[in-house]
Amino acid sequence: MILCIDVGGSRMKWGLAGPHGWLQHGDIAHAQIGTLTLRDWQNLPRPSRVVGVNSAGEAQRVRVEGQLARWRSRVHWIKPVAKAGGVINEYLQGELAPDRWASLIAARRRARDGEGVHACVVVNAGRSITIDTLLADGRFSAGVMMPGLRAMLSALQNALPQSHIDGGQWQSSPVNDADGAATGVVRAVCGAIESSRATIADADVAARCFIGGGAASEIAPHLAPPVVVVDNLVLEGVLALAE
């Protein structure tokens, strides 16, 4: 069994995989990492290997490794490389976060069907949003970054302190500031995603979009198909690299 770990910006996801797929999953805030062996992992069988990605810094790495002491297990922390899992990394060396690298590996697997492997955009929508383009030949050609939905709304509120934009919802035709703001930030993200898609249209006119992260369910309904929401895209990539 392989224990896969994704330490993100504010939360940690984990999954235990057996020979025939996922056995258990978990998702906790950073502040709760120290309770893993008392709660989520109390009855977890000892994994044969532990593999993960960490985008949260040294302190969280140490906390996670401390929770593995009961099994005397070491974590193999994945780092982006020039080529793996059918993906050719053209991003500047040392710049790509490991969770994005794992997502690209997972998307490459998912982009395959009976007709071959398709180009796709890979979106991680959390506290920040990254949009990466993966060509049909496996080249990770470009990536863009932007603030997450909550960060954009916070910036808008700071810029317009007299406006009331809290608690808004998506509307096709907003008629108040709150709904206008909520709709506007989602449209901004969708525009960025579709713009990235357009850059690979010549490579594959039916470029897929794989989207994960906490805000995926808010964004995905407003994108052009084909769109696939993947709850644990990073963990899928971690497992693929572990295998």
Catalytic residue among 6, 27, 40, 99: 99
227-229 β-sheet, strand order: 83-84, 87-89, 139-147, 128-134, 120-125, 208-212, 227-229
Query: CA 39: distance to chain centroid?
Result: 25
Catalytic site residue 99?
yes
Q: Residue 224: is it exposed, middle or buried by C-beta count within 10 angstroms (0-12/13-18/19+)?
A: exposed
Shortest CA distance to 132 belongs to which of 107, 160, 164?
A: 107
Q: Long-range contacts: 224-231, Cβ < 8 Å, 24+? A: 224/194, 224/197, 228/110, 230/106, 230/110
CB-based burial label for 176 (10 Å; 0-12, 13-18, 19+) = exposed
Instruction: Indicate the helix (H) or strand (E) that contains 28.
Output: strand 21-29
What single DSSP character describes residue 37? T
Give the three-state DSSP class for 129: strand
Looking at residue 101, the DSSP 8-state letter turns out to be H
Catalytically active residues are: 99
